[in-house]
Amino acid sequence: MANANLAIKKRRILSDKAFKIGATLAGSYVLVVVALMAFQLITQSAPIWEEEGLSFITKTDWNAVEGRESFGALPYILGTLATSAIAMAIGVPLSIAIAMFISDAPPKIGGPLGFLVELLAAIPSIIYGLWGLLVFRIYFKDWIETPLHNMFGDNVWLFSGNPFGLDIITASVVLAIMIIPTVSAVSREIMKAVPQQQREAAYMLGATKWEMFKLAVFPYSKTGLIGASILGLGRAVGETMAVTMLIGNATGIGAIPSSLFAPSQTMSSIIANEFVEASPASLHMPALIGIALILLLIAVVINVIAHVLVTKMLKIKEGAINN
């Protein structure tokens, strides 16, 4: 009898151990994938680093013709920076305003409205691209770009360049629309995390709604809001399809952003455009993989910062409520 019990116990321990090992393996999967990804990207892009060295980052040539191959990533890095910076400048204020409205509205209005904005996040990038290419671009060109160009084109370099619709500003505006759901959803949660007592204290001092936000909500949620915007920046940097369809796809020195109405190219869009045609034997593919490596590094740094800021903010909230 005792033996039988022992045998059951042993079997139980064995199956539980197998389960634990299985779960741990699944948990480690992400670490293995990240390590393998870093290894693959580094080894596969090695030829370009050997050939160009660090000047790969600072050069502006882009020539894939055999025998005259020369690659530099600078225009695409600048393109990515320009589009995401403009997208942030437009998208973040809008998102924070939306978060203010929703966090303050009664749940009957705020709930459905929040859901509508979140639906924007569910729409695939390719559909934003299609809409941007066939609808938005036309109106934007006729109503905003052309008037701006006619008024300021000769004097302000920002508005020089022929407005055609396939350019930095169109891509950036669509990008701004795409980051609004992310930034506003996270900002809303962060504003909701501000203790109700703080708001009530501000109201009790006679503050209006805007003064309440200035006195009680913003100082308290500053870190978290910055984190939310950086999370949006991470999205904007990695975004591919909509940008590829709208940015005009220049290469080489022509892709350096010269005005808001000039075509350019981002790191992700040059990969999307050229990767399939690049031959693994030439330097073309290592160059594209090298760009992917730079893109990954930038995205990881941005996301780690955002992650730390948002987590820190929400932790403070826990402490405030418990005390």
Partner 1 sequence: MNPIQQRRQEYRSLFKQNVKNRLLVDKAVKIVVFSCVIIAIIPLGSILIEVFKNGLAALSIEFLTQIPGAAGSSGGGIGPAIQGTLIIIGLSSLIGIPIGVMSGIYLSEYEVGKFAKSVRFFTDVFMEFPSIVIGIFAFLVIVLVIGSFSVWAGAFALSLIMFPIVARTTEESLKMVPHTYREAGTALGLKKWVITFRIVISAAKSGMITGILLSVSRIGGETAPLIMTVLGSSQFFHGFDTPMDALPLRIWRLSLLPYDNAQGQGWGAALVLIIIILGINLAVKYHYMNKGDNMLTTLIKNRGNRR
User: With respect to partner 1, which residue has the nearer C-beta, 153 or 179?
Assistant: 179
User: With respect to partner 1, which residue has the nearer C-beta, 115 or 157?
Assistant: 115
Smallest distance, partner 1 to C-beta of residue 65, A: 22
Q: First and final CA of the chain: distance in angstroms? A: 55
User: With respect to partner 1, which residue has the nearer C-beta, 6 or 127?
Assistant: 127
Residue 312 host element (H or E): helix 284-322
Which of 27, 29, 39, 84 lies closest to 289, judged by CA? 39
Smallest distance, partner 1 to C-beta of residue 213, A: 8
Smallest distance, partner 1 to C-beta of residue 157, A: 28
Which of 118, 257, 220, 235 lies closest to 175, judged by CA? 235
User: With respect to partner 1, which residue has the nearer C-beta, 129 or 257?
Assistant: 129
Q: What are phi and psi of 15, to 5 degrees?
A: -65, -35
Smallest distance, partner 1 to C-beta of residue 212, A: 9
Smallest distance, partner 1 to C-beta of residue 163, A: 20
Non-local (6+) Cβ contacts of 201 within 8 A are 216
User: With respect to partner 1, which residue has the nearer C-beta, 38 or 253?
Assistant: 38
User: With respect to partner 1, which residue has the nearer C-beta, 78 or 285?
Assistant: 285
6, 7, 13, 277 from 2: Cα distances, Å: 6, 9, 16, 70
Cα dihedral value 249, 122, 190, 212, nearest 10: 90
User: With respect to partner 1, which residue has the nearer C-beta, 14 or 156?
Assistant: 14
Smallest distance, partner 1 to C-beta of residue 118, A: 8
* 63 beta partners: 70
3-state class (DSSP) for residue 273: helix
Helix axes 218-238, 74-104, angle to 10 degrees: 140
Smallest distance, partner 1 to C-beta of residue 153, A: 26
Task: Give the per-residue SS3 of 74-94.
Answer: HHHHHHHHHHHHHHHHHHHHH
Q: What are phi and psi of 71, to 5 degrees?
A: -130, 135
Which of 241, 225, 271 lies closest to 100, judged by CA? 225
Non-local (6+) Cβ contacts of 92 within 8 A are 179, 183, 229, 232
User: With respect to partner 1, which residue has the nearer C-beta, 57 or 316?
Assistant: 316
Smallest distance, partner 1 to C-beta of residue 237, A: 7
Residue type, 48: I
CA–chain centroid gap for 281, Å, is: 32
User: With respect to partner 1, which residue has the nearer C-beta, 47 or 253?
Assistant: 47
Smallest distance, partner 1 to C-beta of residue 83, A: 14
